Amino acid sequence: MILRKSKFGFLAFGLIFLLITSCKKTDPSITTGTLLEEMVDLNRLTRLPEQEYRTVQYSSYDRRSTKPSESGWFANEDGFGNEPVPGFEEVLKSPDERGIGEYLICDIQNPGAIVRLWTAGIKGKIRLFLDDMDTPVIEGNAEDFFWYTVASLWPEVTETDSSITFRQFDAVYFPIPFAKSCRVEWTGDIRDLHFYHVGVRLYDPGTRIVTFKASDIIQNALKLLEIQSTLNSAKEELTSEIGYMELPEIRVPSGSTMEILKLEGARSIDYFSVKIKADHLETALRNSVLSIYFDQASIPQIQAPLGDFFGSAPGLSPYQSFPFSVEEDSSMVCRFVMPFKQQARIEIENTSREDVTISGGIRTTGYAWEEGKSMHLRARWRIEHNITAPSINDPGSEISDYIYLKAKGKGRLVGAASFIYNPCNVPTSWGNWWGEGDEKIFVDQDTFPSFFGTGSEDYYNYSWSASHLFSYPYCGQPRNDGPGNRGYASNFRWHILDDIPFSEKLAFYMELAHHGVVPEFSYGRIVYFYALPDLTDDYQKIALSDIQQIAYLPWSPEAYLGSAGFRFIQSEQLIDENPNIQADRGNFWAEGALMMWSPTRTGEKISFQIHADRSSDGARIGFTLLKGPEGGTMTIQVNGNPVKFKGKDTVDLQGPRRWVLDNYLSEPVQLRGGQNEITLESGDPVKGKKIGIDFVWIKEP
């Protein structure tokens, strides 16, 4: 939430400012306020932009990447420090005796607007100049500029809750328009971290733009709060609204295709929800193929497995975002507006071995279709199975670019999601991360991509292969099984303020580059875009082999990179079954089993022995545990001494939405040669909590 030292003082100041300025004439120019409104305007995406613009990204990508035919195309030194070539547009001043130099991030001589900022960490200082001003709009800490942009622009304002609206994980969406030019400079030690993305709209010369000024924040105070509320309260009750209707419950037999809705006339669908009932929900969500046809198209503009279209794949992964939501009861909602001139038809093909039941709801409104401007929503899904993910750490691995979308015509990109099966045996993110590869998006006549990224997670707005579940209005990770990033994972990002228009063609690729060589990898993805009816794309009808069930492979933890030096002991070898402890079997767990403890009282204990080869003061122990909605709390002792994990005595396994495997590595502990007693003590005051133990880690110095 945007607050001054007093929220009410900030709002009062904003109201006074608005009253003073309310008598001014409406200005058709692009302003901070009009760009802010675009953050929540999904309807505008259905038409080509009134004022044409390109969206480009300046980033710290490895400058050895020059063209696909050259060896450096997949180089990966993109902000860690000490790169062979500085990851900037230009070296403005070479490093001095302290290693401090000056570097150019961008120098834009064109009207435009900054629409997205991202960093995984950047030291040093930033200077932002607009319209050739001698005095910078911002001069200060680089991380503050990228992560706390509003506070950097207006020091009297603080962002006390950076999780909403403007900062979304490690990206910030706050528009900074400029009428003539924009220049961003970095001053720092090139040996330090300096990851960055700066997403910019470039308007045609002559476009009327009002350059950002600090008072824009106060002038738009109420608008900021309204946008914040809208983005974070997309979930809505619609049953009484005009244009809303419940879809009749339809049974779709195995092996059949059923039409679930047909609409006539010029209208738009601005709310579409589906709920599926099946005995095997995860299989049904992937094996039920959604197809949507607009205006008698011969091929569907939208085709994807049902769960994948809604960003929940594989299986049901609840989350909330602005254009999509997935609920705990399996209701899945799309708010992207779907206009059509004459007709819309929605089908479900059930390729599974069981019947499924489909229900849901839809809201339509009138829509004035404009020839040459109005566009259909499209979604293109594809997947590869049983591939070998190449390693960024293995010179013999052949990294390649995977196609997300190829299209010819006019349109705009508005989102993408990926659906991964990563059967890596390494239990840590540093070791099992699948997304070292960068996005590369070519627009129109690009010979070098308009977007060249710094890592797959960076494209999806997060950093450092984060393994926890999260969702924001424009991005999220609703599934990541763990430990680390192994198993099934899904990521999404919506391009709302930073949509990518194209006039002739678009080619979207993502490198696949892993920490290790991993066979039997599956890589699914979907791209969402609007397009004029005559656009052609690389549509491929979904084959039965595409939507096959991805079997969870047996696995055993492997010591590599982040887990190097550890040995692992399975919990079923340490803990005996009893009335409160049961073995859960399946390939989700290492070695096929997890010990599930259901304590019946606070202070209940279980103990087991682990062997150490010798006495040591600096040993590490770890636990791979089950974290989720019913997770409990506990403390851990080694030989009667409390163990700390990141400074805390208590391990809290309560988590949102779904179960995941998570790692808990201790601070240094003392072990004695021979047997050591490990004691787990429940901290929960009520029944019903669970503590799942997959395996134990030991590292002796």
Decide if 236-374 and 565-699 have a common fold: yes
From CA 482, how far away is CA 332, in angstroms rounded?
24
Query: Which pLDDT score is estimated for 238?
Result: 59
Query: Which pLDDT score is estimated for 158?
Result: 57
- What residues contact 12, with CB distance under 8 A and at least 6 apart? none
Closest CA to 125 of 196, 43, 59, 185: 185
CATH architecture, domain 2-231: Sandwich (2.60)
Pick the CATH number of 565-699 from 2.60.120.260, 3.40.50.2000, 2.40.30.30, 3.20.20.20: 2.60.120.260
DSSP assignment of 608-625, as one string? EEEEESS-EEEEEEEEEE
**Distance separating the N- and C-terminal Cα atoms of the chain:** 47
From CA 566, how far away is CA 590, in angstroms rounded?
15
Q: Is 68 exposed, middle or buried (0-12, 13-18, 19+ CB in 10 A)?
A: exposed
In the block, tokens 């999904």 appear at: 42
Query: Which pLDDT score is estimated for 2?
Result: 36
Q: ω before 390 within 30° of 0 (cis)?
A: no
Q: What does the CA dihedral 523, 302, 472, 663 come to, rounded to 10 degrees?
A: -20
pLDDT along the chain (701 residues), means of 10: 39 47 61 97 97 97 95 95 96 96 98 98 98 93 95 70 69 97 98 98 96 93 89 69 90 97 96 96 96 97 98 92 93 97 98 96 96 98 97 92 98 98 98 98 98 98 97 96 98 98 98 97 98 97 95 97 97 96 97 97 96 94 96 97 95 91 97 97 88 97 90
From CA 667, how far away is CA 647, in angstroms rounded?
8
Predicted TM-score (pTM) of the model is 0.95
- What residues contact 582, with CB distance under 8 A and at least 6 apart? 595, 596, 598
478 phi and psi angles, rounded to 5 deg: -75, -15
Element (H, E) at 53: strand 53-59
Query: Which pLDDT score is estimated for 20?
Result: 45
Q: Are 108 and 115 in contact (CB under 8 A)?
A: no
From CA 14, how far away is CA 220, in angstroms rounded?
7
DSSP assignment of 442-457, as one string? EETT-SS-SEE-S-HH
From CA 404, how far away is CA 460, in angstroms rounded?
14
Q: Are 74 and 513 in contact (CB under 8 A)?
A: yes
From CA 612, how far away is CA 696, in angstroms rounded?
13
From CA 89, how far away is CA 107, in angstroms rounded?
9
Q: What are the residue boundaries of the structural domains of the chain, listed by start?
A: 2-231, 236-374, 384-519, 565-699
pLDDT in tens, 450-470: 999 999 999 999 999 999 999
Q: Which CATH superfamily is domain 236-374 in?
A: Protein of unknown function DUF2961 (2.60.120.1390)
The CATH class for the domain spanning 384-519 reads mainly beta
